[in-house]
Amino acid sequence: MLNGDEWFHAQSIAGINYGRVENSYLGLSFSRVGNVNAVHFITVGKSKLASSEKNNFDIKEIPQTRTPEQLKSSIRYSKI
């Protein structure tokens, strides 16, 4: 994760902000090239969206339809 080329990528995934606290959105995408599957994460701060020339970043929250207890139960069940 910290190979010298991926520093900011690793920093965003780990949630390290070095004293700069800003509300951010998390973007998630999946890709496949040949037989290789990948997951991509990106965090985008609100200030970056405000200064963007485009306004095509969807900030709609996806509502959680399960309770914390249901989610914990699913995790426990998947470990069996």
Instruction: Please say whether the beta carbons of 57 and 43 come within 8 A.
Output: no
The per-residue pLDDT for 18 is 63
- Looking at residue 4, what is its pLDDT? 58
Query: 24 exposed, middle or buried (CB, 10 Å; 0-12, 13-18, 19+)?
Result: middle
The tens digit of pLDDT for each residue in 46-76 reads: 888 888 888 887 888 888 888 888 888 888 7
Q: Is 76 in a helix, a strand, or coil? A: helix
Contact partners, residue 41, CB within 8 Å, separation at least 6: 9, 12, 13, 26, 27, 28
The residue ranking higher by pLDDT, 21 or 30, is 30
**Separation of alpha carbons 9 and 39, rounded Å:** 12
* pLDDT for the residue numbered 26: 80
Do 29 and 44 touch, CB atoms closer than 8 A? no
Flag whether pLDDT at 78 surpasses 80: no
Q: What is the pTM assigned to this prediction?
A: 0.45
The model's pLDDT over 29-54, given as tens digits with 9 standing for 90+, comes to 899 999 999 988 877 888 888 888 88
